[in-house]
Amino acid sequence: MVSPDEQISMPRAARALLHQFCAPRWREEIEGDLEELFAIRVREHGYRFAKLVFWKDVLLFVRPYVLRRTDDYRPAKGPIMFKNYTLVALRNIRKYQLYSFINVFGLAVGIAVCTLLFLFVRHEWSYDQFHANKERLYRLAVTFKETGDAYSSRSAFAAPVGPALQTDYPEVEEVVRVWYTPGSFVQHGDKLLAQSSAAVDPNFFKVFSFNLLRGDPSTALKDPQSVVLTESVVMRFFGTEDPMGQDLLIRIGDTFESFTVTGVVADVSDQSSIQFGLLLPFNRVPDIKQEDVLNEWDDSFTSTFVLLKPGVQAAAVNTKLPGFVMQYYGHWFEGFRNRGIQGADGDLIRYWLQPIADIRLNDSIQAQEATSTPLFNYLLMGIALFILAIACINFVNLAIARAASRMKEIGVRKAMGAVRGQLMQQFWGEALLMSVLAAILGIGMAALFLPIFNDLADKQLVLDIATNANTVLMLGALTFGVGILAGGYPALMLSGFRPVEILRGRLAVHTRQRFGKGLIVFQFMLSVVLIVTSVLVAQQVDFLRNRSVGFDAEQLVVVPTFTSSGENYERYKEALLREANVVGVTGASTPLSFFRGRRSTVIGETRFQSAVLRVDYNFLDMMDIALVAGRDFSEDFSTDATSAVIVNERFVRRAGWTAEEALGQSFPFYEDQPATIVGVMKDFHLTSLHTPLEPTVLHVNPVRAVRFVLAKIQPTNIPGTVETLEATWRTLFPQLPFNYSFMDARLERQYAFEERVSTIMHYAMFFATLVACLGLFGLSALSVARRTKEIGVRKVLGASTFGLVRVLSRQFIALVMVANLLAWPLAYWGTQQLLQNHAYRIDIGITVFVLTGVMSIVLALVTVSYQSVRAALANPVKALRYE
Amino acid sequence: MKRAKIGEFEELVLLTVVALREEAYGLSVQQALHNEAKRPVELATVHSALYRLEKKGYVRSVMGGATKQRGGRRKRLFEVTAAGLQTLDEVRLIRKHMWSLIHRPTS
């Protein structure tokens, strides 16, 4: 190689120009002559002059015979070379089996993960898309302003709102109201079961595209005593008989009424936000007295759907809605302002139309229709992309590492006349081949992993390659994309080698070390983030599970009484107490793991919300909740039934008293008279640990009118006891269904989401780390290959194996440490985000970070050691034989 | 074709090629013309002339002689052919004959 001191070569720009116009056949000699001439000129007249004149020299060569011609140099185009490329590619795979496997495996993992993700996202994003009218279908929603500047949104309205909309606005073609009752009681013959039902307007089938298999869509729900069943409900009650025209008893209010089956509808797809087992006419809502509801404007239980006329824009209707609000709810504004909420009318209460496609994905709106959690979705997407990124990065790294072994081949090819484009074709093709192999493996992995994924995601996804063109398309695009992406840089790099230097054996592996190192740092950083976050999330889940809820939840069976009258409860309690396995029975108006019903409380000048719970006298005792001051409820005091309350410590604090001061205080509570505090109890959780403790008031009025029985049973023979509970119930109340659940199970279920996130993170952590280690393995191989001479010299000079391994591993350990330092803040921030909805959080300790750091270093060492130990043990003679 | 045409410049170049024997290539011819024939011509012109000569069959070329100064690139070395020599001869004889007419009294 000519050193810059010996000779200045000709100006590059001019040379590039020559390249552009000069046909390849003359190029060598002309360039050579020009180079010599330039040297002469530099000698005679100096560099500057030579440079100027050089341009003239070059330009004068623009002559017809010199210029490129189309038939000049045609590299073999098209499929001619493919046979060779494939052969070479396969040979390479076989020759370096380990590397090839690592590459393919890594990519396969990435592809599998992305495939699963695709299935998931596609499912989530296509809820409610089966309705023919979906372009014109909306759900009515309302956004309120709360105290401060917070807004909350709901999609639950009073029953008369829908029809009023239809009457008042010509833009509205149809309005359908839906009232859900998750557990309405249906009986046929001797089968009494709770079914999910929806009471809907008769135009239901006109507006929505539910497949009515039998019956007439325009009349099916006209008759007030008609009912439409889904196929599985039919199966449950009628088996294979024809249900049309048959009678079903459904509980409305307190009695069972007879309904006639007027239609059968196909089972509701899980991609429908509107879910039901049977349909009733709107004015026959189970469990509620109709007259109350249909004309009540101050309620909010009905989902209201709006179908606009063709061509009408939702925005246009939205601008008209404030008028509607003012007309029917204008009197509410004053109440808002009294509570201290400020703002224009349109700001306090805003009605708007939500497109039907938005229902599933928008979790800011409280409604009966379930939504998915965007956070969860984004988490999954993020992880999938992470893993894919890591896999592609690996590929690039390993391809670069193997470049050394391909150099002779490249050199020969170039000497034989290969154009750079051809070489790029070849290497990109190899990458695509790997990608295809990876895709095949990846599909297999995805299929294998699908059941677990379905569990995690709470869905029933199917890998529909055979049936769905979209899926095939996606897979194809993914494979192709991965191949292109991963193969791009290596193709570029490998094709750019200079053949002369290669064939002379001169060019050492010309890789940019920094690139490979940067990639490793990135990979390990991702892995560390995932590890730390999963550990922290797992800690949080554990914490929640173990944290005391403030009452004794063990061996506690919850049985709903289904009535508001106390009679059922009393009779049941009495019967249960006679059983040996029952330790005690108490009752409450909610099942404790769930709460809905806060009331505004005013103490002097202070105003706050408190949770109100009606309980049996022995509640505190049974639930093992301690009293801080005062006394428990007692039947000895007749006034307890009408005016006594027990409050918790939070309440007392909010009111501005001490526990002692609170005793005997009165405040407006009951409709006709104030309540007196007779006792102060310790705080306990009414709902999940997601929400903080709040002021709570217990009362016993009316006596024992509780909806939920809380029975404490012996820990032995639990199934037997449950049977006894059931038998007792059936004897007493044959017309009511028996439902039971265990309190601790109920509490566990509250953390289902976190559990799922935790599991996902564990899997993600595993895969990401696996792939990162694979990458490190490859890179260490590369590094060792590059330093063979150095290792040989060290060995000859007497380095020990251990010392050698240490020297070789040093740079990687440093990389991993850097990765850790970068990862820790990121992991910290990430965990904060995930846990922000939790009122009670773990303290994020330093141990996690340190432990992960140490572990990652150890892992890196192990990975690198294979290569470094092998190098350290190799025969130094071989290494030094080169050159 | 009985009488091959060759331009004045081409003839000069051809002569130089013969004179330079083994070392006749683009640059060497140009330098020789510059120094010996006192004829400053561009490199490209010389290359062009050599190309035409080869096309006419008066020279043949081989690639060879890569040097460091050329960055490892080879030269195209030219060698006169029999036809070329013959043409040169013809031209020389014609010239000689015409010159001889000058000092001979026309009778």
Range from A262-271, A808-817, A874-883 that averages highest in pLDDT: A262-271
Of B26, B48, B71, the CB nearest to A63: B48
How does residue A74 score in pLDDT terms, banded at 50, 70 and 90?
low
- At residue B87, does pLDDT exceed 80? yes
- Confidence (pLDDT) at A507: 45
Contacts of residue A365, defined as CB under 8 A and 6 or more positions apart, other chains included, come to A141, A153, A154, A155, A354, A371
DSSP state of A340: T
Q: Which of A582, A414, A343, A567 is nearest to A75 (CA)?
A: A414
- Confidence (pLDDT) at A7: 60
Distance from chain centroid for Cα A350: 30
User: Is residue A57 within 8 angstroms of chain B, CB to CB?
Assistant: yes
Closest residue on chain A to B50 (Cα): A65
Distance CA A172, CA A833 (A): 42
Closest residue on chain A to B71 (Cα): A32
Strand partners, A647: A680, A697
- Confidence (pLDDT) at A3: 43
- At residue A50, does pLDDT exceed 80? yes
Residue of higher predicted confidence among A319 and A730: A319
Q: Are A242 and A297 in contact (CB under 8 A)?
A: no
User: Is residue B35 within 8 angstroms of chain A, CB to CB?
Assistant: no
pLDDT tens, position by position, A137-159: 999 988 887 766 778 888 888 88
How does residue A508 score in pLDDT terms, banded at 50, 70 and 90?
very low
Distance from CA of A419 to the nearest CA of B (A): 19
Distance from chain centroid for Cα A232: 30
- Confidence (pLDDT) at A565: 66
A702 prior amide bond cis, ω within 30: yes
Question: From the CB of residue A360, how many other CB atoms can be counted at a distance below 10 Å?
Answer: 21
- Mean predicted confidence (pLDDT) in A232-261: 84
pLDDT tens, position by position, A759-797: 877 888 888 788 788 778 877 777 777 777 777 788 888
Q: Which of A553-562, A648-657, B55-64 has the lowest mean pLDDT?
A: A553-562
- Confidence (pLDDT) at B16: 94
Q: Are A226 and A201 in contact (CB under 8 A)?
A: no
Residue of higher predicted confidence among B67 and B37: B37
- Mean predicted confidence (pLDDT) in A662-687: 80
Interchain CB distance below 8 Å, B75 and A29: yes
Interchain CB distance below 8 Å, A30 and B63: no
- Confidence (pLDDT) at A542: 81
Closest residue on chain B to A59 (Cα): B44
Exposed, middle or buried, A582 (CB in 10 Å: 0-12/13-18/19+)? Answer: buried
- Confidence (pLDDT) at A19: 84
Tell me the average pLDDT of chain A. 81
- Confidence (pLDDT) at B51: 92
Contacts of residue B98, defined as CB under 8 A and 6 or more positions apart, other chains included, come to none
- Confidence (pLDDT) at A402: 72
How many Cβ pairs closer than 8 A exist between chain A and B? 62
Interchain CB distance below 8 Å, A37 and B72: no
User: Is residue B105 within 8 angstroms of chain A, CB to CB?
Assistant: no
Contacts of residue A244, defined as CB under 8 A and 6 or more positions apart, other chains included, come to A214, A215, A261, A262, A263, A264
pTM summary value: 0.66
Distance CA A777, CA B33 (A): 65
DSSP A742-811: EHHHHHHHTTHHHHHHHHHHHHHHHHHHHHHHHHHHHHHHHHHHHTHHHHHHHHHTT--HHHHHHHHHHH
- Mean predicted confidence (pLDDT) in A176-193: 81
- At residue A882, does pLDDT exceed 70? no
How does residue A648 score in pLDDT terms, banded at 50, 70 and 90?
confident
Distance CA A563, CA A565 (A): 5
The A residues from 241 to 280 touching B (CB cutoff 8 Å) are none
Question: From the CB of residue A224, how many other CB atoms can be counted at a distance below 10 Å?
Answer: 13
- Mean predicted confidence (pLDDT) in A215-242: 87
- Candidates B41, B46, B76, B77: best to mutate against A (most CBs of A within 10 A) is B76
Is the Cα dihedral B46, B51, B56, B59 positive or negative? Answer: positive
Hunting for tokens 């709903």 — which residue is that? A560
Enclosing H/E stretch for A680: strand A674-681
- Confidence (pLDDT) at B79: 93
Give CA separation, A588 vs A1, A622, A688, A698, A709, in Å: 91, 11, 17, 9, 7
A12-21 helix and A47-59 helix, angle to the nearest 10 degrees: 10
Distance CA A844, CA A835 (A): 11
Both tokens assigned to A740: 């039971």
Both tokens assigned to A580: 């040996």
- At residue A488, does pLDDT exceed 80? yes
Both tokens assigned to A517: 């190192």
Dmax (CA) of chain B: 63
- At residue A594, does pLDDT exceed 70? no
Pairing of strands A708-713, A582-588: antiparallel
Interchain CB distance below 8 Å, A39 and B26: no
Interchain CB distance below 8 Å, A60 and B43: yes
Residues of A in contact with B51 (CB under 8 A): 65
- Confidence (pLDDT) at A4: 43
Interchain CB distance below 8 Å, A34 and B73: no
Distance from CA of B17 to the nearest CA of A (A): 16
Distance CA A77, CA A72 (A): 14
How does residue A709 score in pLDDT terms, banded at 50, 70 and 90?
confident
- Mean predicted confidence (pLDDT) in A650-674: 80
Distance CA A753, CA A735 (A): 36
- At residue B28, does pLDDT exceed 90? yes
Percent of chain A whose predicted confidence (pLDDT) is above 90: 2
Both tokens assigned to A276: 């039901």
Both tokens assigned to A67: 């210029």
- Confidence (pLDDT) at A20: 83
Distance from CA of A768 to the nearest CA of B (A): 49
Q: Which of A551, A837, A545, A834 is nearest to A692 (CA)?
A: A837
Range from A362-366, A397-401, A432-436, A708-712 that averages highest in pLDDT: A432-436
- Confidence (pLDDT) at B43: 92
Residue of higher predicted confidence among A508 and B47: B47
Distance from CA of A81 to the nearest CA of B (A): 29
- Confidence (pLDDT) at B85: 92
Question: From the CB of residue A634, how many other CB atoms can be counted at a distance below 10 Å?
Answer: 14
- Confidence (pLDDT) at A2: 42
- Mean predicted confidence (pLDDT) in A18-42: 87
Contacts of residue A723, defined as CB under 8 A and 6 or more positions apart, other chains included, come to none
- Confidence (pLDDT) at A5: 45
How does residue B47 score in pLDDT terms, banded at 50, 70 and 90?
very high
- At residue A127, does pLDDT exceed 90? no
- At residue B80, does pLDDT exceed 90? yes
User: Is residue B96 within 8 angstroms of chain A, CB to CB?
Assistant: no
User: Is residue B76 within 8 angstroms of chain A, CB to CB?
Assistant: yes
- Confidence (pLDDT) at A430: 86
User: Is residue B48 within 8 angstroms of chain A, CB to CB?
Assistant: yes
Closest residue on chain A to B66 (Cα): A32
Distance from CA of B31 to the nearest CA of A (A): 9
Give CA separation, A647 vs A388, A668, A761, in Å: 55, 14, 41
Q: Are B81 and B60 in contact (CB under 8 A)?
A: yes
State the Cα torsion B51-B52-B55-B56 to the nearest 10°. -140
How does residue A175 score in pLDDT terms, banded at 50, 70 and 90?
very high
- Mean predicted confidence (pLDDT) in A866-881: 72
Looking at A270-419, list the stretches that DSSP marks H as alpha helix, in order from N- to C-terminal side: 290-294, 314-338, 345-348, 374-401, 403-415
Contacts of residue A86, defined as CB under 8 A and 6 or more positions apart, other chains included, come to A429, A433
Residue of higher predicted confidence among A287 and A876: A876
Distance from chain centroid for Cα A241: 43
